[in-house]
A = this chain, B = another copy of it.
């Protein structure tokens, strides 16, 4: 698992063995089974997760107990409740396994420690955050410019493997429409 993380970081930022040993010491690994929670709404222990293997969903449950999917996270993706993590607040969302999943995670304190001790790692996280902003800008744009059917086909084209690994009802919860509506489309 740590080798996966190293490969991932070194695509952007070369590391010495010593540097990577230090980074590794600040992450923990954990495996979860399908259906398990990595964290749950209202908890305080916010962490930043790196998905080595498997599939997660980040969900928000509204007052009528409806589940909205803020994002999925597959292999090599980072995921967390950004606000709760970075501002050290209680989480308003939950992170749940769609498949059996192996993750590495870093706590906020360790993250800060890492950035102070090895400042160049901020270059790596900056690049990740930038791409996060790009992806978000695109997703917002697609909700503005496209109708539901177009967004559905775009999603399948963009992430064909995701569409195979996730039930359609979950794709509906991600797109913000009812599963019945999605079911009525003929691609």
Contact = CB atoms under 8 A, between A and B. Distances in A.
A60 interface: yes
Copies of this chain: 2
A137 B82 contact: yes
A15 interface: no
Contacts of A69: 144
A53 interface: no
Most buried by B among A70, A87, A125, A144: A144
A176 to B, nearest CB: 5
Contacts of A126: 122, 125-126, 129
A143 B176 CA distance: 8
A39 to B, nearest CB: 15
A144 to B, nearest CB: 4
A139 interface: yes
B119 A120 contact: yes
Interface of A: 60, 62, 66, 68-71, 82-83, 86-87, 115, 119-120, 122-123, 125-126, 129-134, 136-141, 143-145, 176
